[in-house]
Structure 1
Amino acid sequence: MIHRLRSRDRLQYLFARMVVLFRHVQRNAIFSTLYRYFFHYRECSVPLFISLMMFTILVGGCANHQLETYQELRDTALTQPVYYYTEIEEKIADAENEPIVEPDPFLSEIEAEVLKYQKEWQARLESETPMPNLFYDVSTDPVKAYRQLAASPEAAQARLAEPITLELLVAFGYEWNPGLKSIREKIRAILKRYPQAAYLENVLRQYNAFTKQLDTKVGPKQHKEMMAMKFPFPGTLALKGRIITEDVLIAEKEFEIALRDLVTEIRLAYYDYLFVTEAIRINEENQKLLEQMIAIAQTKFRVGRGKYSNVIMAQVELSKLANTIITLEQQRETVIARLNTLLNVSADLPLGVPVLIEESSVIPTLAELYPLSVEKRQEIQKQKLAISKIGLAVEMANQMTYPDPTLGSSYFENRSMGDLKHKEKMPMTFSTRRTLNPANTAWFAHRGSYIHEMDVKIEAMTHQVEKLESDLRFVVKKHHFAMETANRSIRLYRQTLLPQARQALDASNTAYQAAQIDFLSFLDAQRTLLNLRIEEQRALRDYRQHLAQLEQAVGIILPKQPLTRE
């Protein structure tokens, strides 16, 4: 019985019974729970039963009160406080009365001028001839036709299997070479700087006019009308446009350099291709001649009029020619792979035989080539443009240190809600522009150091231009000398050595068949003519390659005239 337990045990017993009661209340209905405890736990005292009844009534009342409160919230319409409408209406009215910031005519005119440069460059970039005065003229009718053919890779590769010309390779390289494509995209990226330079001042003006706030420690201040709006210093925006134009011109020179070097590499490889093809043809002709002489030597040996050693010597010479032809064919495959790499196609793509080109000589003399190369060389022009760009940057840095033109003041108001003591808003106040900080001028602190650094850099780049000019004169002299040397060799071969060697071979052939000379004398005459013909083709290749390198050094395709060395 509960009254027989000690006081401590009695409290534990009551707490345990209340826990059991709470769990049954959760699981079962309230009345079934009370019935169970009343009839099955008769040992419970009357106070415990009364406590349980009061607890049940209290829980039910709280739940009913919460339900009524929730229903009231659902049925009650939401109303905004009065001050909310007041503030919103005032802000809308103030926004309607805000003055419209008119565009600056002077700034708009400069912006239009800057954007005009972008349109001009964009039109040049998208035209058939993107840039005038290129190293190689890609606007001729044959080159245009080849460039249109390059748009279809399958048809273009089929055309490469036929006899190829230098114009065909240059046109395909102009359209396919990844280096040229990269520089074209670089120019397009630089063109996007024009709108950035033109519209940046408008963005800053809008920021000053509409979003800038002042922290006066007495509440948020908002500008109602920005009379102290800053305008760019006269010429600053124009200088930005000129700097971007210099960047575009520098990128254009990079494109010209890439095209010049690409055309030169194609020409050098094409001249190697011509030489190897002609060398194979000459060796095959001599191979046929030796085969005929071997047949004659064998016939003489059978009839007892010749020696077997002559047959052996002819077969040895024939084997040497066969090995030379194999080497030349492998060299031809290497040259083809080089051309394919320049065209950005598979290195194993077969190419047709090269078409012979007309021989020509340059018209300008060496004395005329020196000043012409200094004027036309793209690297020198690029360096001068870089110097001009740095000069513009220094000029703009000097101008940006001066205070921008402004009306000198602006008024603002406190739009915050008044407190309990002050019912009206704070009166309109004015702010004036502070004087220029001398530390921000071009003659103090880091700005002065930067400008001095740029001046020294300009001086260094000027000396670099002088070095480029000096080195260029040596390169022009070297290739001009090599070209003249090769030209003299070609003239010597064609006018003297080759005619004499052909006469000697014909005489030796006739004498050998008449048994007047031995077979060794005939082989010497045949070998001499073969070597002279190969050397004549090598000298012709050297002349063409040095001419191409001379034009690369000068920076333009030199005027030429037909050349006759016979």
Structure 2
Amino acid sequence: MKPLIAGLRSLRLAAGIAVLAASAFGHAQDAVPPSAAAAPLGADLPGLIEYARVNNPAFAVDRAEAEAARERVEPAGALPDPSFQVELMDVTNRMHGGPTTLVPGEVGETRYRVIQPLPAWGKRELAERAAGARADQAEAARDAAWTNTAAEIKAAWLRYYAADREAGLNRDALALLQSLEEITLSRYRLGLLPQQAVLRAQREITSQRLALVGVEQRRRGTASALNALLGRTPGSALAAPQEPPPLPQGVALAPLVERTRAIHPAITAEARGIDVARLERDRTWRDRYPDFSLGLTNNRPLGGENSWDVMLEVMIPLQQSARRAREREAALMVTAAHARRAAAESTLLGELGSAYAAFTSGHETLQLLRGTLTPQAEATRDATRAAFSAGRVDFDTVLEAERQLVDTRIALLQADVETRMALAEIEKLAGEQP
């Protein structure tokens, strides 16, 4: 009986430990932040773009300015604040035989007046609409600035990716040269190679190490530039870049042109600028009509009965030459706004054509390098190694084959990065919002 009881106690203890462990594991899982499964910062572009959207200081300025412009819409259409006046009549109290005073109610007569300015009909509505168009323009300018910032981040990350991959290629080349050095030393000890071959191998290894130092320095520089765009300190750590997504097989130019004209935020900002100029022109024309002011006065004579006065004030538009000049200025600003939009569209379409040409050229270069030149260089390298092992070629031929293969791989990497940069430029010019 006692062993059975002891066994049950042990079972309960084991079950309790299991429950506590499961509970602790569940709490540990709950404590893991949602972003833990995401790629570390620097590994891919989406994470960098989202980080910069929150932390990039230049974009924070654009975002705050756009929000400030939106807050100006409501005040633009509001009535001006009224003014309050206190007028003291007969402060010397000659008519009442009292002392001189500035206290309201103790002078000959005290007047309390409230004046409300009233702009002419339609002016407040036009001012509110113009402020709304300025807010739309500021938001479009914010989107254009963000598109440029995101494109800069893409280009910086691609340079970071290129430097990282080039460093890997240089390390692989260095490892190959070191293996060749061992083969050369062993054959030199057997008297099959002259000493010059050993020295040549060691010289190539030193040159490769120097190249690797330069590439590593460039990698650190690209990382610092990327951190600057993210609003981080230059020495902040970045994860090693992952492989970017595959390139598209091709893009059509005509839809890109139409998309750029239709939705690019820079062109949208200039279009909103045309709206602003038109509304300002209409508001300037409204200045031909006079503004008004209404006043209500409470008269309080000393020792007399209170009375009320109503006042209407009308502005007299006499300065016709100045007003006509402002109207001509407003009309010319509309013309300038149309010209700015046309200039922005022409510039963007020209840049789009250049980026499209670079993309198509880079795509063709990649096909040649990946499909023809790289396999040829690999086959040459393998054949040269086999011939070197059999003693049919000298060491210089082996080094030249290895160098050609490394150069081909680096050229393939550079062509891939340049093509991706051209694609990023196309996406920017087509108005794609990351």
1:221·1:412 contact (CA, 8 Å) conserved in 2? no
The answer to whether residue 226 in structure 2 is matched with residue 347 in structure 1 is no
Instruction: Spell out the pairing of 1:95-494 with structure 2 (5 A cutoff).
Output: 159-160=40-41, 164-201=43-80, 203-204=81-82, 207=83, 211=85, 222=111, 231-361=118-248, 364-403=251-290, 414-417=299-302, 437-439=316-318, 444-494=320-370
SS of residue paired to 2:355: helix
Residues of 2 paired with 1:214 and 1:431: CA distance?
A: 18
| Matched residue type, 2:363 | N
In the alignment, residue 197 of structure 1 is paired with which amino acid? A
Equivalent residue letter for 2:147: R
Counterpart Cα distance in 2 of 1:291 and 1:546: 37
Matched, 1:532 2:417: no
Match for 2:324: what amino acid? G
C-alpha separation in 1, matches of 2:50 and 2:298: 68
Q: Which runs of 5+ in 1 are unaligned?
A: 1-146, 150-154, 419-423, 559-566
User: What SS does the corresponding residue of 2:234 show, helix, strand or coil?
Assistant: coil
Q: 2:376 aligns with which of 490, 500, 504?
A: 500
Render the CA deviation track for 1:506-547: whole Å, top value 9, x for unaligned. Answer: 010011001011111111111111100000000000001111
1:545 corresponds, among 417, 421, 424, to 421
Name the CA distance, whole Å, in 2 between partners of 1:245 and 1:225.
31
Distance 1:486 1:224, change over 3 A: closer
CA displacement 1:242-291 (0-9 Å, x = unmatched): 22212221221222122112211111111111111111111111211111
- Superposition RMSD in Å: 3.3
Q: Is the 8 A contact 1:372 1:554 kept in 2?
A: yes
Cα offset, 1:377, TM superposition: 2.5
- In the alignment, is the contact (CA less than 8 A) between 2:281 and 2:330 conserved in 1? yes
1:523 aligns with 2:402: no
Q: Which amino acid aligns with 1:236?
A: K
- Structure-1 residue corresponding to 2:99: none
C-alpha distance in 2, partners of 1:235/1:381?
27
Q: Which whole-Å CA distance do the structure 1 matches of 2:277 and 2:241 have between them?
A: 47
Report the CA distance between 1:469 and its aligned residue.
Answer: 2.0
Residue 396 (structure 1) shift: 2.1
Q: Which has the higher contact order (CA 8 A, sep 6+)?
A: 2
Q: Which moved more, 1:463-472 or 1:490-499?
A: 463-472
Q: Deviations over 1:6-64 (max 9, x none)?
A: xxxxxxxxxxxxxxxxxxxxxxxxxxxxxxxxxxxxxxxxxxxxxxxxxxxxxxxxxxx
Q: 2:219 is aligned with what amino acid? A: R
Letter in 1 for 2:402: Q
CA contact (8 A) 1:384 1:465 kept: yes
Does structure 1 conserve the Cα–Cα contact (< 8 Å) formed by 2:377 and 2:405?
yes
In 2, Cα distance between equivalents of 1:328 and 1:224: 79
Counterpart amino acid of residue 472 in structure 1: L
Deviation at 1:400, TM superposition (A): 4.3
Q: Distance in 2 between matches of 1:557 and 1:196?
A: 31
Report the equivalent of 2:14.
Answer: none
SS at 2:142's partner residue?
Answer: helix
Distance 1:430 1:526 in 2: 99
Q: Could you say if the C-alpha distance between residues 479 and 211 of structure 1 is closer, same or farther in structure 2, counting changes exceeding 3 Å?
A: same
Deviation readout 1:101-140 (Å, 9 max, x if unpaired): xxxxxxxxxxxxxxxxxxxxxxxxxxxxxxxxxxxxxxxx
1:349 is paired with a residue whose SS is coil
Q: Secondary structure of 1:360's partner?
A: coil
C-alpha separation between the residues in 1 aligned to 2:398 and 2:205?
Answer: 14
Spell out, residue by residue over 1:135-184, the C-alpha distance to the aligned partner (whole angstroms, 9 max, x if none): xxxxxxxxxxxx986xxxxx99x944xx6211111111111111111122
1:215-245: CA deviation from partner (whole Å, max 9, x where unpaired): 99x986847899xx76554433222222221
For the residue of structure 2 that corresponds to 1:200, the secondary structure is coil
Q: How does 1:506-517 map to 2 (within 5 A)?
A: 506-517=382-393
Cα distance in 2 for residues equivalent to 1:471 and 1:190: 27
Q: Using a 3 Å threshold, how does the CA distance of structure 1 residues 332 and 519 change in structure 2: closer, same or farther?
A: same
Unaligned segments of structure 2, at least 5 residues:
1-32, 96-107
TM-score by length of 1: 0.62
Q: How many angstroms apart in 2 are the aligned matches of 1:416 and 1:393?
A: 47
**1:169-225: per-residue Cα shift (whole Å, max 9, x none)?**
111111111111112222333343244335434x33xx3xx6487999x98684789
Give secondary structure in 1 for the equivalent of 2:79: helix
Aligned length: 386
Partner amino acid, structure 1, of 2:417: R
Cα shift at 1:417: 2.2
In structure 2, what is the Cα distance between the partners aligned to 1:365 and 1:198?
46
Per-residue CA deviations over 1:309-368 (Å, capped at 9, x if unaligned) read: 221211111111111111000000001101111111110112110011112227641233
